[in-house]
Amino acid sequence: MLAATVLGSLCKEEELRVKVLLGGCIPPLLALLRSKSAESQTAAAKTIYAVSQGGIRDHVGSKIFSTENVVPVLWEQLKISLKNESLVDGLLTGALKNLSKNTEGFWSATVQCGGVDILIKLVSSGQTNTLANTCYLLGSLMMEDSSVCSKVLSGETTKQLLKLLGPGNETSIRAEAAGALKFLSAQSKEARRQIANS
């Protein structure tokens, strides 16, 4: 666990972040994330979040994250931790947001792992530490796969997203909720009708 914390702090420098990735840290971090200890899960999630911050030009990370099946594991852990509303949820959604920008097969893996349902649950849960990342991921997913829109429209998600635009929410949450609604209305006539009538 201490090693995971040290690795996370090393990732603040880009050159060291790449060395950490190339050093084979991902499999042990994923094992730590799956452990029963909340402390170990948090340490692993913080480090995975740090190591995933390479952005669009992170070709090394992109290949490693794809090869090591990081995306399915993160969705699987998020599904489990949803019940506990923990700090880990914010770190996992943050890492998924980072990975969505450059990891091969990210969106297809997300759909296969039940990511749509998880995101919809997170929007309605109102967990402030996850909302901005969740809205970003949901909006991006709707742009990638318009069939997701029907799932969003069939529940209360549109209303929840509209509520997040309210002044009581953080600026980042309001901005990402607005982005998700923009993507939703761009893809669906029914969404435009729902938004106009609200």
Instruction: Of 82, 25, 66, give the one whose Cα is nearest residue 48.
Output: 25
Q: Within 10 A of 148 (CB to CB), how many other CB atoms are there?
A: 23
Burial of 127 (0-12, 13-18, 19+ CB in 10 A): middle
Round to whole Å and give the CA distance between 29 and 15. 19
Q: Within 10 A of 62 (CB to CB), how many other CB atoms are there?
A: 18
Averaged pLDDT for residues 132-153: 93
Residue 158 token pair: 């549109």
Q: What pLDDT is attached to residue 5?
A: 52
Contact 173, 135 (CB under 8 A): yes
Q: Which residue has the higher pLDDT, 17 or 79?
A: 79
Q: What pLDDT is attached to residue 173?
A: 95
Q: What pLDDT is attached to residue 119?
A: 96
What is the Rg, in whole angstroms, of the alpha carbon atoms belonging to the chain? Answer: 17
Q: Within 10 A of 18 (CB to CB), how many other CB atoms are there?
A: 17
pLDDT band (50, 70, 90) for residue 103: confident
pLDDT band (50, 70, 90) for residue 6: very low
